[in-house]
Amino acid sequence: MTDQTNTHQVTLNYYTLQDLRTIADSTPRLELHPDVIAKIEAGAQFVLEKAAEDRYIYGTNTGFGSLCETRVEDEEMELLQYNHVISHAVGVGEIVPEKLSRLMLFIKLLTFRTGHTGISIDPVQRLIDMWNNDIVPAIPKKGTVGASGDLAPLAHMALPLLGLGKVHYKGEVVDSATVLQAMSWEPLKLKPKEGLALTNGVQYINARGALALMRIEEMVKTADLFAAMSSQAFSTSETFYQAPYHETTYHPERKTVAANFRNVLEGSNHYELPTCNNSKQDPYSFRCIPQVHGAIRQAVNFAIDIIEKECNGVSDNPLFFPESNQILFGGNLHGESTALALDFVAMATSEMAYISERRTYQLLSGMRGLPDFLVNQPGLNSGFMIVQYTAAALMNENKVLCTPASVDTIPTCQLQEDHVSMGGTSSYKLETIVDNAEYILGIELLTAAQAIDFNKPLQLSPATQKLYDEFRQHFTFMERDRVMSDDMERARTYCAENRAKWIAQFSLA
């Protein structure tokens, strides 16, 4: 619900991913900064002036897509915008979570704030009023090709302005007409260009990408913590994360991972144990953690930069520039940057899960003094054997989903829109990969804790001892075979709920 005690003023400032996280999590009341209002009003007035001229203005007094040279009469411009919204509301599938719809709406407000889209203040203020009264558009999951904008999802976002479609309201998905009547709000009549301004742009896939990255950004940090737990359990060497070794590289992300290891492992004796490899040549899933986790961080940082820029830019076409008396036509409706970034970070997130699964596998291998499958009386008991099968199955799904959607295009609109980003698919599959990665990382922590209990000479570092003690309050040692499905579900939830706390508690960079 909207926090009525907290008001956020939408400004012309640059919004970071952390800013978007704060807005999405705290849901403050929204209002527009006076400078934003002035720019929106100037842009809208400019559109009305130009619409009165005898000229082609795409989507204002012409049809859409390949119908761009079909003029409509002046008295039909309002109907054109209405028809545009209702004809483009072709989304299918489940209704996305309210949090996603809210974030999409907020990012849409960011694209309006410069006035370049030509939308007037009325529909913008109605969207804000809906937010402030916990009336959130209900958006079907599928239907966007990620160019020409996220037409279908954004049209569904716009339908309630017309008294159509559905909204989240008081915990239910209901007809917007009923809610508008209860609020004594009249459906809006859209002015020239406003329907197109509402549906054009890639705010849907940017919102999906932003929410995924909020989770991934935390996961890459706690992945270092879980890997450190596994390293102690497996009696690895200490050399692979020492600072002098990483002074030989120009990748700062590797240095960050190595520093996290030194921080959380200070005081552990894992590298002094007799089970440690004499040549200090641990399997790559341990020895190459700084290199792999560092590369994952690079991909994540790249994606965050792209999504932030996309969310702060003006994603629409055409754009209006009253200060220079120009209307410019182009392709700011194309989601290629987002699609490529999400496909890239999907591969990185999958790799984060894959190297985690490999560490889990090593802990079950019967090496370094650990029993087969981390259980007493292996044979009678299977222990963690089949837990790793689930991780393997999830990894297989991730590998399939890592096929980039952005390398495909299916031409639309009589070849007028002949190259599209398919960023919607990029965003859907990234979400699934993140879900699977959460399970796999939770399984690693379960497995590492079990292995630590069998590594009797091991002295954990003070930091990891805290994590282990806390973990064992919720997850007991497996003495003999038991149903592990519940443990795995709870481990995923436990890790997700505690990531932010651990990042602060263990000073993970």
CATH number of domain containing 338:
1.20.200.10
| Range of weakest confidence among 95-104, 140-149, 171-180, 259-268 | 140-149
Sign of the Cα torsion 264, 270, 276, 280 reads positive
Q: Which of 271, 218, 222, 221 lies closest to 242 in space, CA to CA?
A: 271
Q: What does the pLDDT read at residue 56?
A: 87
Q: For residue 178, what are the CA distances in angstroms to 125, 126, 162? A: 20, 16, 12
Residue whose tokens read 């009469």: 73
Residues 419, 476: one domain? yes
pLDDT tens, position by position, 144-200: 999 878 999 999 999 999 999 999 999 999 999 999 999 999 999 999 999 999 999
Q: What does the pLDDT read at residue 338?
A: 97
The answer to whether the beta carbons of residues 476 and 483 sit under 8 Å apart is: no
Residues 6+ apart with CB under 8 A from 254: 246, 290, 291, 294
Q: What does the pLDDT read at residue 149?
A: 85
Last residue of a domain, one of 201, 224, 255: 201
| C-alpha count within 13 angstroms, C-beta hemisphere, residue 186 | 4
For residue 91, pLDDT over 90 is answered with yes
Q: Which of 360, 333, 281 lies closest to 154 in space, CA to CA?
A: 333
Between CA 193 and CA 199, with CA 196 as vertex, the angle to 5 degrees is: 150
The answer to whether the beta carbons of residues 420 and 145 sit under 8 Å apart is: yes
This prediction's pTM = 0.96
7 strand-pairing partners: 29
Using pLDDT thresholds of 50, 70 and 90, give the confidence band for residue 414. Answer: confident
Q: What does the pLDDT read at residue 391?
A: 98
Q: What does the pLDDT read at residue 74?
A: 81
The answer to whether the beta carbons of residues 31 and 128 sit under 8 Å apart is: yes
Residues 173, 121: one domain? yes
Residues 122, 93: one domain? yes
Q: What does the pLDDT read at residue 125?
A: 98
Residues 425, 317: one domain? yes
- E strands present in 278-358: 319-321, 326-328
Residues 6+ apart with CB under 8 A from 54: none
Residues 216, 109: one domain? no
Residues 31, 70: one domain? yes
Q: What does the pLDDT read at residue 425?
A: 94
Backbone angles phi, psi at 70, to 5 degrees: -95, 110
The answer, yes or no, to whether the previous bond of 318 is cis (omega within 30 of 0) is yes
Residues 224, 105: one domain? no
Using pLDDT thresholds of 50, 70 and 90, give the confidence band for residue 64. Answer: confident
Distance CA 108, CA 422 (A): 19
Residues 406, 294: one domain? yes
The answer to whether the beta carbons of residues 452 and 460 sit under 8 Å apart is: yes
Instruction: Return the percentage of the chain with pLDDT > 70, whole number.
Output: 100
Residues 386, 460: one domain? yes
- Count of domains for the chain: 2
Residues labelled catalytic:
58
Last residue of a domain, one of 201, 220, 238: 201
For residue 413, pLDDT over 90 is answered with no
Backbone angles phi, psi at 187, to 5 degrees: -60, 145
Distance CA 115, CA 322 (A): 9
Q: What does the pLDDT read at residue 69?
A: 83
CATH number at residue 130: 1.10.275.10
Helix, strand, coil percentages, rounded to 5, for the chain: 60, 10, 35
Residues 139, 231: one domain? no
Distance CA 308, CA 358 (A): 33
Residues 260, 405: one domain? yes
Q: For residue 362, what are the CA distances in angstroms to 6, 199, 284, 388, 456? A: 50, 50, 11, 10, 18
Residues 99, 67: one domain? yes
Residue count of the chain, please give it: 509
For residue 436, pLDDT over 90 is answered with yes
Task: Convert 374-397 to b/e letters by CB count within 10 Å (16 or more is b).
Answer: bbeeeeebebbeebbebbeebbee
Q: What does the pLDDT read at residue 356?
A: 98
Q: What does the pLDDT read at residue 441?
A: 98
Q: Which domain covers residue 92, as residue numbers?
A: 3-201
Last residue of a domain, one of 168, 201, 234: 201
What's the whole-number mean pLDDT along residues 434-455?
98
Q: What is the mean pLDDT of the chain?
A: 96
For residue 415, pLDDT over 80 is answered with no
Task: Give the 3-state secondary structure of residue 136.
Answer: strand
For residue 68, pLDDT over 80 is answered with no
Q: What does the pLDDT read at residue 358?
A: 98
Sign of the Cα torsion 356, 474, 491, 102 reads negative
pLDDT tens, position by position, 19-30: 999 999 999 999
What's the whole-number mean pLDDT along residues 337-356?
98
